[in-house]
């Protein structure tokens, strides 16, 4: 990668980058034009370097024509299905792993928290087995729900990132052949 006024990096495969005109010449022209012009009271003239040229119009027409090809339509369908598949897989993994994590934390809280307390108190041992959710501490319930939600969110975000990766791969194959 070159560092300087212009680099050799291009974003499309068809066009090659050209060395842009130096910006200081355009700036001097704008300064000279604004100094010599008298502002009209009823008209609005935009400030800045907004200029439309024939080359930019032809580029936009080429891009618009390129978007309507059969190859692009097939690629957009492929991107939709791969993105849907990856996001669905991420959501399913998040639901499964999140539920398992929450369940294991709750089981550990019951096994190492509620069961020893029930053994110490002889009459509450029956309650520990009949109503296990009631005897688990609220701290364990909150920890289990936060951990389950965190694991689920992680897998959903990871699925979304994988979908973006697959979309970029399809775009790369589309543009590079």
49 lies in some domain = no
Q: Which of 94, 73, 77, 67 is nearest to 161 (CA)?
A: 94
Q: What gap in Å lies between CA 174 and CA 177, rounded to an integer?
A: 6
> Which segments of the chain does DSSP mark as H helices, in order?
23-36, 54-67, 70-109, 115-120, 125-130, 132-135, 138-176
71 lies in some domain = no
The structure tokens 């289990």 sit at 144
Number of domains comprising the chain: 1
The structure tokens 């339509």 sit at 73
62 lies in some domain = no
98 lies in some domain = yes
Measured CA to CA in angstroms, residue 94 lies from 81, 162, 164 at distances of: 20, 14, 18
138 lies in some domain = yes
Q: Which of 87, 139, 133 is nearest to 110 (CA)?
A: 133
How do the pLDDT tens digits run along the chain, 177 residues long?
A: 444 444 454 445 555 555 555 555 555 666 566 555 555 555 555 555 555 555 666 666 656 566 678 888 888 899 999 999 999 999 999 999 999 999 999 999 999 988 888 888 776 778 888 888 888 999 999 999 999 999 999 999 999 999 999 999 998 988 886
Measured CA to CA in angstroms, residue 81 lies from 70, 94, 172 at distances of: 17, 20, 17
Domain that holds residue 118: 76-176
Q: HSE (CB half, 13 Å, CA atoms) of 9?
A: 7
């Amino acid at each position: 990668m070159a560092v300087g006024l212009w680099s050799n990096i291009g974003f499309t495969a068809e066009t090659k980058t050209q060395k842009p005109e130096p910006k200081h010449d355009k700036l001097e022209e704008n300064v000279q034009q604004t100094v010599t012009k008298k502002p009209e009271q009823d008209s609005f003239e935009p400030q800045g370097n907004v200029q439309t040229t024939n080359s930019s119009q032809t580029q936009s027409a080429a891009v618009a024509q390129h978007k309507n090809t059969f190859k692009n339509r097939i690629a957009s369908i492929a991107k939709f299905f791969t993105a849907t598949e990856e996001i669905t897989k991420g959501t399913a993994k998040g639901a499964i792993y999140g539920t398992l994590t929450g369940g294991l934390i709750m089981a550990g809280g019951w096994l190492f928290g509620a069961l020893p307390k029930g053994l110490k108190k002889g009459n509450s041992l029956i309650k520990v087995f009949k109503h296990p959710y009631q005897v688990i501490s609220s701290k364990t319930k909150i920890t289990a729900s936060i951990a389950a939600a965190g694991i689920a969110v992680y897998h959903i975000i990871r699925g979304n990132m994988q979908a973006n990766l697959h979309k970029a791969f399809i775009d790369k194959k589309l543009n590079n052949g």
